[in-house]
Amino acid sequence: MLIGIDASRAAAGQPTGTESYSLQLIRALLEVESTHQLRLYLNRPGNDLFPRAANAELRHIPFPRLWTHARLAAELASHRVDLLLVPSHVLPVFFPGRAVAVVHDLGYLRFPQAHRMVDRWYLNLSTRWNTRRAAVIIADSEATRRDLVLHCGARPDRIEVVYPGIDTNLRPVRDRARLDEVRTRYGIQADYMLYLGTLQPRKNLARLLDAYAQLDPEAVQLVLAGKPGWLSGPILSRAQEVGAVLPGYIRDQDKAALLSGAVAFLFPSLYEGFGFPVLEAMACGTPVICSNTSSLPEVAGQAALQVDPLDTTALMEAMRRILSDKPLAETLVQSGFVNLERFSWHSCARQVLELCERAAE
């Protein structure tokens, strides 16, 4: 079988969660033993992103606008594949054959105020199109599966939950010189608690900052790392008021050291379709505090302190517990390593290939 894969999101310059998912999944697909042929479509050069595989080819098909619905659609019409796999984007409006689409979350429905109106419109349209057109829909979590059934009317028997994996390059960094180097690079001057992700309202950072403001500022710094997103202005202003560190986007080569050096990783998000940062922190041996909503209990298991994201006092008390209870912090670290055993890109890729086979029948 010839499987076409939309790899455009995998080649993003500064990848966020869904783009990293696309990259890691495609890399794993190329490493799985398979009789299927894979054809990767990119809208920008990306030969250095993927391992070489005898059963795979890359097609760079640049186009200035509407790449998916015009250029990719035209490519699929003129050079047909048996199945199209879209890991992190929308299926073309017109294309021949069957498809498998991955849907990561429906946050735009749960928290519409956190998205621009045009983004809400596009996300709603594209998600509903994916669920209608795809022969098989892959969801990152049971939480996303429930949302697809409830809000998009998707048939439960067409949705399969396949857990993503965790980047095996992420592991604890214990070299003190390396930890100090990264702290200095990002302007961190003391022990710190870390949030890492896009700075936007859905991540509940306003309440996180209010919780931090109730702690002794001499005890720990708060670091909010990541690119400013939509409606980030009030978050940035409040961060400056309480003295939080805002290092901006973190280079991939610094992520493990930044996570490893943190006293705790904080992820009080209001809604997540999966929650990669929780697993990334666990992989680096950092205790995690996260929300008890959406997919996060499913992902974190018993390896994190879980709090009501709407309860600022509970969030503050969880931060204080980590600072004062070293045995608790160490228990969370060890539980985190055990929890990670449930998530593997190799296993994810094999399941995705099996679902592609089912969809093509």
170 falls in which pLDDT band (50, 70, 90)? Answer: very high
Same domain for 227 and 147: no
Is the C-alpha dihedral spanning 185, 189, 191, 192 positive or negative? negative
CA-CA-CA-CA torsion for 293, 20, 151, 135, nearest 10 degrees?
-140
Predicted local distance difference test score (pLDDT) of residue 208: 98
C-alpha 255/C-alpha 276 separation (Å) is: 13
* CATH code of the domain in which 349 resides: 3.40.50.2000
Output the CA–CA distances (angstroms, integers) from residue 54 to 31, 82, 108, in the order listed.
10, 18, 40
**Rounded average pLDDT over 162-180:** 95
Asked if 257 and 181 sit in the same domain, the reply is yes
Q: How far apart, in whole angstroms, are the C-alpha atoms of residue 158 and residue 184?
A: 49
Q: Are residues 32 and 125 in the same domain?
A: yes
Same-domain pairing of 188 and 330:
yes
Is the distance from CB of 68 to CB of 55 less than 8 angstroms?
Answer: no
Q: Are residues 41 and 146 in the same domain?
A: yes
Each residue's pLDDT tens digit, 39-72: 999 998 877 889 999 999 999 999 988 999 999 9
Q: Is residue 182 located within the same domain as residue 199?
A: yes
Give the separation between CA 116 and CA 282, rounded to whole angstroms: 32
pLDDT digits (tens, 9 = 90+) for 340-358: 999 999 999 999 999 999 9
pLDDT above 90: residue 178: yes
User: What's the pLDDT tens digit per position in 75-99?
Assistant: 999 999 999 999 998 999 999 999 9
227 plus 138 within the same structural domain: no
In a domain, 324, yes or no: yes
User: What is the C-alpha separation between 301 and 332, in angstroms, rounded?
Assistant: 11
Question: Is residue 347 packed enough to be buried (19+ CB in 10 Å), middle (13-18) or exposed (0-12)?
Answer: middle
34 occurs within a structural domain: yes
Reported as a pLDDT band with limits 50, 70 and 90, residue 134 is very high
* Residue range(s) defining the domain that contains residue 43: 2-165+344-360
Residue 243 lies in a domain: yes
Average pLDDT over residues 182-208: 95
Average pLDDT over residues 172-183: 97
Residues 63 and 159 reside in one and the same domain: yes
Q: Are residues 138 and 269 located together in one domain of the fold?
A: no
Same domain for 200 and 327?
Answer: yes
**Total domain count, the chain:** 2
Q: In this predicted structure, what is the pLDDT of residue 14?
A: 66
Give the closest residue to 18 by CA, choosing from 301, 282, 272: 272
Q: Is the residue at 10 inside a domain? A: yes
**Does residue 171 lie within any of the structural domains?**
no
Can you give the pLDDT at residue 177? 97
Average pLDDT, the chain: 94
Same domain as 303, residue 203: yes
Any domain includes 59: yes
- Whole-number percent of the chain with pLDDT over 70: 99
Phi and psi torsions of 200, nearest 5°:
-155, 160
Shared-domain flag, residues 47 and 133: yes
Structure tokens at 1: 């079988």
| Within-domain flag for 149 | yes
* Residue 115 domain-assigned (yes or no): yes
